[in-house]
Amino acid sequence: MDFQTLQNQVCQEITSALSKVRDEEINELIDVLLSAEKVFVMGVGRVMLMMQSFAKRIKHMGIDSYVVGETVIPAISNKDVLLAGSGSGETITSVTVAQLAKKFGAKVALITAAKDSTLKKIADISVRIPSTTKRRLMKLKTPDEPTSVQPMTSLFEQALLIFGDCLSMILQKKLNLSEGEMWKAHANLE
């Protein structure tokens, strides 16, 4: 296959996955993020990279955000939210951290591709981006899980990045922040 054909297929897959995200789930997530004192994000592998990207962008908006696992992370409390990204909802590290967050009274929000999962049972709220997951390798694939021309879980990871950027734009508007104000919070030691 040539690049143009693949590019078209990949973009169509991302658009299709994101078009199925429910507005109610998005609005609930926005409310939770805006009401939290601190937002902690986590994921594993490439999902973590997408979650780090989201944490950085909301930090530019003045939302106190942290990436789980970093050395400067503060304690989580009942005023905070843990936002976990997990396509399958079964990633052991994410499940364990979500259980800890609940133990300390924090809300747990999940962005996932799975309809049902261990993490979804723990989470207070979840947003589903229907896409491919590693669940098919675990023989847990559901009939409504889409197929993809892309390898592994690339579709979820890419859709998660775009979802986070769109969510950031909604948050920016709700917070009435200009791009100039966001640039003031951007790193200047580069």
For 9-39, how does the pLDDT look when each residue is reduced to its tens digit (9 = 90+)?
888 988 989 999 999 999 999 999 999 999 9
Q: Which domain holds residue 161?
A: 18-68+77-180
Query: CATH number of the domain that 96 lies in?
Result: 3.40.50.10490
For residue range 64-85, list pLDDT tens digits in order: 999 999 999 999 999 999 999 9
Domain contains 7: no
Rounded CA gap, 119 and 108, in Å?
9
Q: Please write the tens of the pLDDT for every residue from 82-94.
A: 999 999 999 999 9
Catalytic residue among 157, 179, 181, 190: 157
Domain assignment present for residue 1? The answer is: no
Whole-number Å distance between alpha carbons of 48 and 116: 21
To the query of whether residue 37 is one of the catalytic residues in this protein, the response is no
- Per the structure, how many domains does the chain have? 1
Size of the chain in residues: 190
Q: Report if residue 6 sits inside a domain.
A: no
For 107-155, the pLDDT digits (tens) are: 999 999 998 999 999 999 999 999 877 655 555 555 666 676 565 677 8
Phi first, then psi: give them for residue 7, nearest 5 degrees: -60, -45
Burial class (CB in 10 A: 0-12, 13-18, 19+), 74: exposed
Q: Note whether residue 187 is domain-resident.
A: no
Instruction: Answer yes or no: is 119 within a domain.
Output: yes
Q: What are phi and psi of 137, to 5 degrees?
A: -75, -25
- Structural domain contains residue 91: yes
Strand segments (E) across 8-164: 39-42, 65-67, 81-86, 107-112, 125-128
Residue 189 lies in a domain: no
Average pLDDT over the chain, rounded to whole? 90
Domain annotation covers residue 170: yes
